[in-house]
């Protein structure tokens, strides 16, 4: 048991993840299951973090990857075939890109 009875997670159910939504350029709305914040990270960290996030979610769920490194933006879509996922879209924001990837 943790200090003062806190921190003991045995037997505790995980709280449901709050889901955010994103609208793609074709008007399709997707529910974001996991957000991977790779702002300030360079290769290969965004790819490794994305692979880990895809491994944690269920088929059909979507990961949003936030990156500000141009080489990472270029590396994520081709990687999707290797991790059993589909690149849905990359959206350029004011200071970063939002890459949407769905697990197959």
Q: Which residues are marked as active site?
A: 43
Euclidean distance between CA atoms 1 and 7, whole angstroms:
7
Euclidean distance between CA atoms 85 and 62, whole angstroms:
9
Of the candidates 54, 68, 64, which has an alpha carbon nearest to the alpha carbon of residue 89?
Answer: 64
- Confirm if 84 and 54 have CB atoms less than 8 A apart: yes
Of the candidates 38, 63, 61, which has an alpha carbon nearest to the alpha carbon of residue 48?
Answer: 38
Euclidean distance between CA atoms 75 and 79, whole angstroms:
7
């Amino acid at each position: 048991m943790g200090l003062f009875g806190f921190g003991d997670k045995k037997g505790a159910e995980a709280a449901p993840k709050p889901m955010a939504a994103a609208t793609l350029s074709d008007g399709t709305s997707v529910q974001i299951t996991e957000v991977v914040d790779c702002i300030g990270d360079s290769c290969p960290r965004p790819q490794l973090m994305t692979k880990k996030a895809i491994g944690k979610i269920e088929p059909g769920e979507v990961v949003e990857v936030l990156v500000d490194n141009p080489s990472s933006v270029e590396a994520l879509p081709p990687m999707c075939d290797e991790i059993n996922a589909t690149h849905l879209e990359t959206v350029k924001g004011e200071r970063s890109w939002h890459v949407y990837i769905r697990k197959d």
